[in-house]
Amino acid sequence: MSPWLPILMAVPVVGAIVVALLPKGSDKLAKQVTLLVSLLVLVLTGVMAAGFDPGGERFQFKAEYDWIPSFGVKFGVGVDGVALVLIALSVVLVPIVVLASWHDADGVKTADGTLITPKRSVKTYFSLLLVLETMMIGVFAATDIFLFYVFFEAMLIPMYFMIGSYGGAQRSYAAVKFLLYSLFGGLLMLVAVIGLYVVAGSKTFMFPELVGVIQDPAMQKWLFAGFFIAFAIKAPLWPVHTWLPDAAAQAPAGAAVLLVGVLDKVGTFGMLRFCLELFPDAAKAFTMPIVVLAVISIIYGAIVAIGQTDMKRLIAYTSISHFGFIVLGVFAMSSVAQSGAALYMVNHGFATGALFLAAGFLIARRGSPFLGDYGGVQKVAPVLAGFFLVAGLAGLSLPGLSSFVSEFMVMIGSYSSQAHGSGALSVAAIVSAVAVILAAVYILWMIQRTMNGPTAEPVKAFKDLNAREIWVLAPLVALIIGFGFFPKPLLDVINPSVQQTLTNVKVPTSTIAEKGTGQ
């Protein structure tokens, strides 16, 4: 057994306890300790990832400990390529969020100068960040389905308090709505997990041992529905998406980055890992209705984003559109589309994270999230405007930036897929391409309204990014550009896991999509 994953989960928890026990008035020390712990986790993850063999066993760095032996529940962890890149995304974003959130727990200042005081202390906020990091690592690493469910539900708790205690004026409403939607999905998933355990009759919750066990098509459909609805809410997919714009708009910028950049990926990750492999016949039966929902999400999210006047709500609606692309790629069931979907999860985290943080720095200076309160920012804060531009262009998938690669793979893989023996996926890919034009509209409109034009009177007093803020955005922009030109390191890790998924779903991998791209 490998100690790597248990160590990665233990370090943030220990750090959270240390931060919580610091004496009163040690706010700066709490921030410094949190940053150091998150950087330590990043280094340890990098060392672990260096030992991952893409051509080796599917699940690596495995550890299994008996947890509830009478029910066959284990503390079972391990990572395949998709889980590894999502854990890497999480641990990269956390120290960036810590640095960006240096003053988030101090209070939110509105446009009229009113300070919205947090309900809880600075130490609590940064302790919650570290606890959330453990949950994010655990949910992607869990190979025991019951353990996955525990992390799936438990990570709601720190995010609920981060939104409800440190967010904007409507924070309580947004936090409760986020929690209720998530708990409803979690309840359906719990019923499905229990049903899976009873029907399988194998006295285990370990994912590798449950693949291929449920053979009855009708039972597969019922269990698939329980998992899928929970994941669709988490993603979120239209029409169960309405909690996201409220939660993202009211959350502190750093918390919004982790919410949209990582937590929502648990939904699409769950679809790829559990829905397809545990219930392959049901996944094939429900493919076209799900593809329709994905295309609606793509177009709906883009159109509604165009009409937004609140910067953070606009970014949230763009994410609904992006998640539609990811779901389309997952259910296209070609290796190109699924690899593109997995890559999209990572690239979306970097691009949307950078855009949320740049928007957060703008809002911190002006005290308002509304686009109409800005104008001419590039004249007084050119560095901030430059970072905002690159993050925005990544959001519209400009060639040369990382999002373009994954979006292109999803569309070309869906268009060329022969997994379902019809041209319906080709139509879906063509319709989804309309969102590329719509993305240019909402991103360029946002940039025009905020960065260009006459300088608004309150904007004239803006200061450009300081050193801390540059250190927040520079790594994300570097990753966006780097993976835009050279995504191979990520794809080399992702592709074998995708091929294994398609093998378990019994979908031939030698489709036109693979032949056309040389995979």
Q: What is the pLDDT of residues 189-232, one digit of tens each?
A: 999 999 998 888 878 889 988 888 888 889 999 999 999 999 99
Spatial distance between the Cα atoms of 148 and 75, rounded to a whole number of angstroms: 10
Question: Tokens 């066993």 — which residue?
Answer: 57
What's the gap between Cα 24 and its chain centre?
34
Among candidates 243, 262, 252, 60, which has minimal Cα distance to 152? 262
**Percent of the chain clearing pLDDT 90 (strictly above):** 59
Burial grade of 347 (CB within 10 A; 0-12, 13-18, 19 or more): buried
Among candidates 215, 53, 223, 218, which has minimal Cα distance to 145? 223
What length is written for the chain? 519
pLDDT at residue 102 in the model: 86
pLDDT at residue 110 in the model: 53
What's the gap between Cα 211 and its chain centre?
25
pLDDT at residue 117 in the model: 66
Query: What average pLDDT does the structure give for the chain?
Result: 88
- Contacting residues for 308 by C-beta, under 8 A, at least 6 apart: 314, 317, 442
pLDDT digits (tens, 9 = 90+) for 14-23: 999 999 999 9
- Contacting residues for 289 by C-beta, under 8 A, at least 6 apart: none
Over 50: is that where the pLDDT of 7 sits? yes
Select, from the ranges 81-85, 373-377, 416-420, the one with the highest average predicted confidence (pLDDT): 81-85
For residues 430-459, average pLDDT: 88
What's the gap between Cα 429 and its chain centre?
22
pLDDT at residue 457 in the model: 85
For residues 101-126, average pLDDT: 71
Spatial distance between the Cα atoms of 259 and 430, rounded to a whole number of angstroms: 30
Query: Could you say which DSSP state residue 370 is in?
Result: B
pLDDT at residue 4 in the model: 94
For residues 149-155, average pLDDT: 93
Spatial distance between the Cα atoms of 493 and 495, rounded to a whole number of angstroms: 6
pLDDT at residue 108 in the model: 55
pLDDT at residue 426 in the model: 79
Query: Could you say which DSSP state residue 423 is in?
Result: S
Spatial distance between the Cα atoms of 137 and 139, rounded to a whole number of angstroms: 6
| Pick from 285-294, 338-347, 419-428: least confident | 419-428
Dump strand ranges (E) for 35-142: 60-68, 73-79, 108-109, 115-116
Whole-number Cα distances in Å, 386 to 25, 148, 389, 393, 479: 37, 40, 5, 11, 16
| Pick from 285-289, 344-348, 453-457: least confident | 453-457
CA-CA-CA-CA torsion sign (377, 379, 384, 386): positive
- Contacting residues for 318 by C-beta, under 8 A, at least 6 apart: 301, 302, 305, 352, 395, 439, 442, 443
299: left (phi over 0), alpha (psi -120 to 50) or beta: alpha
pLDDT digits (tens, 9 = 90+) for 494-518: 999 999 888 888 776 444 334 334 3
Q: Which residue has the higher pLDDT, 113 or 164?
A: 164
pLDDT at residue 511 in the model: 43
For residues 472-481, average pLDDT: 95
Q: What angle do CA 121, 14, 12 make, to 5 degrees?
A: 80
